[in-house]
Amino acid sequence: MLQILASALNAFPVACFLINSEHRVIHWNMACEVLTGVSARVIVGTKDQGKAFYACDRMVMADLVLDGAASNQVDALYHGKFRPSSTVPGTYEAEDFFPNFGKEGRWLYFTAARICDVHGTPIGAIETLQDVTARQQAEAALHLSNERFKALSWIDDLTQLYNSRRFHEVLDNEISRAARYAHPLSLMVFDIDYFKQINDTHGHQEGDRVLRLIAEQLRQWQREADHLFRFGGDEFAVILPETNAAAAHSAATRLVEAWRQFNGNGAGAATHGSTLSVGVTQLKADDTAETLVRRADQAAYEAKRLGRDRVIGA
């Protein structure tokens, strides 16, 4: 019977090994030799199963289930990477990365279960292992692709700034963070004065050129923590974390002056002498994202009403 079992396990295409009640390896099938690079001749009769998988000698899953380890004991070695079997009590399955296999390591899915005699006394354990590296790599590539697609969906094609969809996500997060830590947060919104005339007189390609130049100036002007957005059309917004109303007003004034200077340094023809009307405001205790944006918008409208090319705080 034992010979039949050994032959069956050797013919089994899934890597597996058996240990006895003393934790000694009593069978190491051919698939396990291929997977680990360790021959049965070397390991059978030893307690070196841990060395075949890890850089140091340690217990493997089969050792744990043989000793009847509780979930918290298994968690100590396979934290967040294992789960109990839904069908056989005391049996576990896990998935983990093994850096010592091959040049770049391998991901293995493995299971372990106790073997008991007719009286229910544990006499050993079996562990099976499958190489799931290809699946893990495919899932990682898919996740990366999804993240890239998500990031692209946040970007305005023309200016390469974040778009309005991303604006609302970031603003909600920054409002929550500012409220949690009682830190200041300000918002700046602006548009280009008489932008419609640029489009009507010089064409949309010239209007697009001005928008790209504004985006370049914004990137040069911004601080590391600031978030830049194009809403659409000629409307832009900047979220300024850790910034109070006075500092936001000062930063906005520097932007308006930088755009004036840019025009004065020979770029006036490219920008068609355009100017900026800017509104700034600081988050208040009872603000929502909607009220904060509305107040900044109103300040920008007031800047236009008062003659444009200026900053108004609210």
Q: What token pair was written down for 4?
A: 């039949």
Pair 99, 237 in one domain: no
- Percent of the chain at pLDDT > 90 equals 68
Query: Token pair of 302, please?
Result: 């007031």
Per-chain mean pLDDT for the chain = 90
Same domain, 174 and 282: yes
State pLDDT tens for residues 226-277. Answer: 999 998 889 999 999 999 999 999 999 999 999 999 988 877 778 888 999 9
Local confidence band at 43 (pLDDT 50, 70, 90 cut-offs): very high
**E strand or H helix at 276, and its extent?**
strand 276-282
pLDDT at residue 178 greater than cutoff 90: yes
Lowest-confidence pick of 28-32, 121-125, 138-142: 138-142
CATH classification of the domain holding 196? 3.30.70.270
Which residues, 6 or more positions from 253, have their beta carbon under 8 angstroms from its beta carbon? 311
Instruction: Tell me how many domains the chain contains.
Output: 2
Give the least confident one: 76-80, 184-188, 258-262: 76-80
- Specify the pLDDT at position 265: 80
Q: Provide the pLDDT for residue 5.
A: 67
Q: For residue 114, what are the CA distances in angstroms to 1, 19, 67, 117, 255?
A: 19, 10, 9, 10, 70
Average pLDDT for residues 179-201, to the nearest whole number? 94
- 3-state secondary structure (DSSP) of residue 162: strand
Catalytic position from the list 156, 191, 234, 287: 234
Residue 302 is predicted with a pLDDT of 96
Residues 125, 175, single domain; the answer is no
Question: In the structure, what pLDDT confidence band is assigned to residue 13 with cuts at 50, 70 and 90?
Answer: confident
Q: Rounded to whole angstroms, what are the CA distances from 144 to 138, 148, 166?
A: 10, 6, 19
Question: Mean pLDDT throughout 60-78?
Answer: 86
CB of 250 closer than 8 Å to CB of 264: no
- Verify that 164 and 303 share a domain, yes or no: yes
Query: Rounded to whole angstroms, what are the CA distances from 267 to 1, 37, 143, 232, 234?
Result: 90, 68, 43, 23, 18
- Which pLDDT score is estimated for 100? 82
Q: How confident is the model at residue 4 (pLDDT cuts 50, 70, 90)?
A: low
- CA dist 61 and 42 (Å) reads 20
Torsion 91-93-98-100 (CA) sign: positive
Catalytic residue status for 234: yes
CATH of the domain at 11: 3.30.450.20
Amino acid (one-letter) located at 312: I
Least confident of 96-105, 204-213, 284-293: 96-105
Average pLDDT over residues 75-85: 84
Say if residue 64's pLDDT is above 60: yes
Report how far residue 240's alpha carbon sits from residue 242's, in angstroms, rounded to the nearest whole number: 7
Examine the domain organization and report whether 235 and 104 are in the same domain. Answer: no
Q: What is the pLDDT at residue 215?
A: 95
Q: What is the dihedral of CA 244, 248, 251, 253, to 10 degrees?
A: -140
Q: Which two tokens stand for residue 101?
A: 């296999």
Q: Cβ contacts of residue 103 below 8 Å, gap of 6+?
A: none
Above 70 in pLDDT, residue 206? Answer: yes
Binned at pLDDT 50, 70 and 90, residue 15 comes out as very high
Task: Give the model's confidence band at 212: pLDDT under 50 very low, under 70 low, under 90 confident, else very high.
Answer: very high
d(CA 164, CA 181): 26
Residue 35 is encoded by which pair of tokens? 């997977």
Judged against a pLDDT cut of 70, whether residue 2 lies above it is answered with no
CB 278 within 8 A of CB 312: yes
Is the residue at 250 inside a domain? yes
Which stretch of DSSP H or E encloses residue 196?
helix 195-202
Please report whether residue 60 resides in a domain: yes
Q: What is the largest CA-CA distance in the chain?
A: 97
Query: Cβ(45)–Cβ(67) under 8 Å?
Result: no
Asked if the model's pLDDT at residue 1 lies above 70, the reply is no
185 and 133 part of one domain: no
Same domain, 167 and 258: yes
- What percentage of the chain reaches a pLDDT higher than 70? 97
Reported as half-sphere exposure (CB side, CA atoms, 13 A), residue 55 has a value of: 6
> Which of residues 137, 164, 181 is at a domain's end?
137
> Domain range holding 202?
154-313
pLDDT at residue 52 above 60?
yes
How far is it, in rounded angstroms, from Cα 27 to Cα 24? 9
Highest mean pLDDT among 70-84, 129-143, 247-261: 247-261
pLDDT of residue 137: 87
